[in-house]
Each structure stands twice: as structure tokens, then as C-alpha cells.
Amino acid sequence: MSNDSDLRLPTSDFQVSRRGALRAGALVAAGAWSATACSAAAASPLKLATFTADVTPPLGHPLMGGGIEPAKEVVDPLFIRGLVLSGRGEPVVLASIEWCEIRNDAFERWRAALSEAAGTTPQRVVLSSVHVHDAPIADLAAQRLLEERGAAGAICDLEFHERAVERAAQAAGDCLASARPVTHFGVGQAKVDRVASNRRYVGPDGKPAFNRMSRTVDAVMRERPEGTVDPWLKMISFFDGDRPLAALSTYATHPMSYYGKGGVSADFVGLARHRRQMDDPAVFQIYASGCSGNVTAGKYNDGDPANRPLLADRIYEAMRAASEATQKYPLEKFDIRGVELDLKPRSGPGFSIDELEERLKTDPQPFGQCLAALGLSWRRRADSGRKIDVPVLDLGPAQLVLLPAEAYVEFQLLAQKLRPDSFVAVLGYGECGPGYIPIERAFLENDGNLRDWCWVDPGAEEAMTSALTDALVRHD
């Protein structure tokens, strides 16, 4: 296990003081939700059950919300993989799905179905999308808008989506009969070699640029420094005595080597997770992506298909090293809590309801129609007053935090900075309706990634900072 100094990750040029973070609370809704922490002496034994279900889309299904070629072949199947932790209060469901995104009412449907199957409440379902791009995006309201208007664009198949939800819920319910005692948890981490790089880099002219994507063919772009990343793969494991039961790994990068030709795949992170599972089939492996809205493998990947297994090897080696470095703790505290995050919908040119409605009706490109429908779906949710849950699973010496959508990596680094005394693992891609959630500097520097897949106004950094502070500091 790495020592405490290794856990204090630098925040690079994202500087938020603890005092400043504590002052930022005004934008978070006052009503935080919390469960009562349980001590080992007072609580009944905790149990763990694992579940998985195949959620591979049929051929012809839209991928990446209609932005790329639809499914033409299944390179490797897609799964939801999860845990149900029960025995201390209502159960907690922790799951990762190998889809691109789940948004708005689709996200609510998934949480409702999984919570009903596990006998708990939706707020106790922690669901993250891996964000691979040769995979579905689910937004039911947006798809219905497209169908109602007779648009050419398509985001998802509503019937397939419901079948996938029901299949996953069935698996989550069935697994409860095979729950096993869990007495300890473990934390471990390892640096990942040559995978992550920031989209932003400073060019030879000294000016910032933002076009280092998952596939970067320009050698000059690849030669620039990695930029702001979180180099650590973090792992939280669960044990029955000395016997490991399950491990969740998380790392912050867009998880694509190549995509867009219709080959359904969980890409290099899915390959790494599968390989790790084969090492010891008795230890259930889950992979979830961290906050990586502005982080890709572009410095180390030119899109050559041969890079997929190379990147998979690097993630796998970090998983193996994190497991070897794991330090165990008695599972004395088990608490899930959260705060409500209020992100203001985008209001600049092109993002008003009228403009989105017009684009949905007149955009000549099917994907342009999809973007308008996705924007309207999020706008309607936000305007209705519904907030986003930011849940924290608190294990005492460690916390697992779920942040929404394509949050920038600086928010992950901030979460760790807020709790330098603890092991903080951060998942991204919870409720994905907002799209990119940038730091303020990205707006000021005209980050090109924010042109169309960002549905939040400037000011999101303050709201996210406040939510993290409320969830990690004020509840401590």
C-alpha cells in the first residue's frame, strides 16, 4: 500500500483553498440526504452479493447517441456489473455499465429498477457509465422528441432500453440469495503508465489548444506534455476475512483507442477488466471511469487498432499492482450520504428552448437533431427544479464519490485535496444529462469541446466545488 504522501495528489493549476471551498455552498440545495453510520459493535453483519447482465445493443442500434455509425458487429459484449451491500440499513447498489451515457429520465429509470430489485431506494443506487463510445447513450425523453417530430436522428431504441433495464434488475434481485459476509475492505492504488493526457496543451506558440482527442494523429500534439491528469488507478476491495470477494477499479481517461465504425466494444478498459477477472474468477471485478471529460489517451494513441491491446495491458498492469498494494481495514463504518447539486442549464446563443426546438426541426444533420433533443431533455429536467444527487459511500478511512456527466479531472483532484487524510476514489459519468462540466478556465480559454456537448452555464465550477465540500468535509 502506498504511504499517505502518495495519496495527496497535486491539483496542478486548479487551485481552490479549503476556506474558499467552504464559502461556495450557496449553489447547493439545502436538503442533503444521509444514512446513519453504523459501527461494527452496533450493527448487524454486512453482506455482499454480485450481479452482471449482458446489455449489448442489437445490430443497427445507434451508438454514441447517433453521432457515429450504428452497431454493425459485436467486437465484444457489453455488461453491467455491480454489487449489492446489505445488512446495515437499506441495501446499497454500486454498479458500472459499459455504455457511453445514461441521461435524465433514463438514469431515473435505471436507479428505480435497481433499487426496487435490491429492496432499497434510488438514492442508494450508485450507477456510473464507463463512457466507451461504441456503445449506447440512453435518454428516453430525447428519443421521444425525435420520434414525435419525425426526425431522421435516433439516440436509442426504447424497447431495447427497457429490456436491458429489466434484465439488469432481475440479475440484481436474483443475486441476493447468494450474498456472502463481508468483514473488511481494502484500498490500493498504482500509477498508470502512458495512458492519460489532457485535451488541453500549450502549443509551440505558447497558446493553449484543446484538440488532443482520443485519437491524435498529429505528432506535435502527441509530443506535448501530458498536462493535468490523475495518474493513479484506485481500487476499493471487499473481503470476507482473508478471502477477497470483489474489487472496483477506477481511472480517469476517456476509454477509447479507436471507434466510430460500428464495432460494439468496451474497448481497452473492458479488455483489462476481463483479463483481470480471468486471473481469479472468484474475485468479482468492476471497472468504472473517473472524471475524464477533458482527459483522453491521445498523447499515446494515434488510432492504430494495434494500440488497443497495448493500452489494455497498461490498465491491467495498474489493476494488478493496485491489488498487490492493497491495505485491508475492518469494515467498521458503512454510511451512504449525499447532497443535491444544482447545475444551471446553458443559456448562451444556440441553447435557448426556442433555438433548440428550431434546431430539432430544421437541422439537416441527423446528429444535429439528436444534439437538440438531448439539450431539450436536459433543459426540461433542469427547469423543472430537479437536482442531481452527489452520493458518497463512506467507509471511514476511504470514501467513494460519484460525480455527474463528463466532469473535468480537476474536480476529481479537488475531491482528493478536500480529504488529504483519506483515500478518496471518484467516479464520473453518473447522471450524464449536463454533458461536459468544465472548470471556469475552459470557458475563458474557449475550450472547443464546449461547443455542443456542454449544456451547463459558466459557474458550474463553483457549484461542483460546493457540492464536493458539503459531501466530503461538512459531513465529516
Confidence class of residue 204 from pLDDT cuts 50, 70 and 90? confident
Q: Which of the pair, 20 or 315, is modelled with greater confidence?
A: 315
Question: Does the structure show a pLDDT above 80 at 8?
Answer: no
List strands edge to edge, sheet with 92-97.
125-129, 92-97, 79-86, 46-54, 180-182
Confidence class of residue 279 from pLDDT cuts 50, 70 and 90? very high
161-197 confidence digits (pLDDT tens):
999 999 999 999 999 999 999 999 999 999 999 999 9
pLDDT at residue 32, rounded to an integer: 59
Least Cα distance to 402 among 328, 323, 464 occurs for 464
The DSSP annotation for 320-351 comes to HHHHHT-EEEE----EEEEEEE-PPBP-STT-
209-221 confidence digits (pLDDT tens):
998 999 999 998 9
Least Cα distance to 236 among 272, 290, 281, 275 occurs for 290
Contact 85, 94 (CB under 8 A): yes
Beta-carbon contacts of 196 under 8 Å, excluding residues fewer than 6 positions away, are 226, 229, 230, 231, 251, 252, 253, 292, 295, 296, 297
pLDDT at residue 6, rounded to an integer: 33
Contact 400, 427 (CB under 8 A): yes
pLDDT at residue 44, rounded to an integer: 66
Question: Does the structure show a pLDDT above 50 at 416?
Answer: yes
- In terms of C-beta density within 10 A (0-12 exposed, 13-18 middle, 19 or more buried), how is residue 271 classed? buried
Number of C-beta neighbours around residue 249 at 10 A: 29
Question: Does the structure show a pLDDT above 70 at 15?
Answer: no
pLDDT at residue 17, rounded to an integer: 37
424-439 confidence digits (pLDDT tens):
999 999 999 999 999 9
Distance CA 193, CA 231 (A): 8
pLDDT at residue 439, rounded to an integer: 97
Mean pLDDT of all residues in 382-390 = 94
24-57 confidence digits (pLDDT tens):
333 333 345 555 444 433 456 899 999 999 999 9
315-349 confidence digits (pLDDT tens):
999 999 999 999 999 999 999 999 999 999 999 99
Beta-carbon contacts of 76 under 8 Å, excluding residues fewer than 6 positions away, are 264, 265, 266, 270, 271, 274
CA distances from 176 to 106, 127, 213, 276, 379 (A): 24, 18, 42, 24, 38
Mean pLDDT of all residues in 337-364 = 96
- In terms of C-beta density within 10 A (0-12 exposed, 13-18 middle, 19 or more buried), how is residue 278 classed? exposed
Residues paired with residue 328 on neighbouring β-strands, in sequence order: 186
Beta-carbon contacts of 94 under 8 Å, excluding residues fewer than 6 positions away, are 82, 83, 85, 126, 248, 286, 393, 400
265-278 confidence digits (pLDDT tens):
999 999 999 999 99
Question: Does the structure show a pLDDT above 70 at 294?
Answer: yes
pLDDT at residue 34, rounded to an integer: 56
Pinpoint the alpha helices (H) of 217-327: 219-223, 267-279, 307-324
126-169 confidence digits (pLDDT tens):
999 999 999 999 999 999 999 999 999 999 999 999 999 999 99
Mean pLDDT of the chain: 91
Confidence class of residue 7 from pLDDT cuts 50, 70 and 90? very low
Of 32-36, 279-283, 375-379, the least confident: 32-36
pLDDT at residue 474, rounded to an integer: 76
Q: What is the pTM of this model?
A: 0.91
Contact 97, 56 (CB under 8 A): no
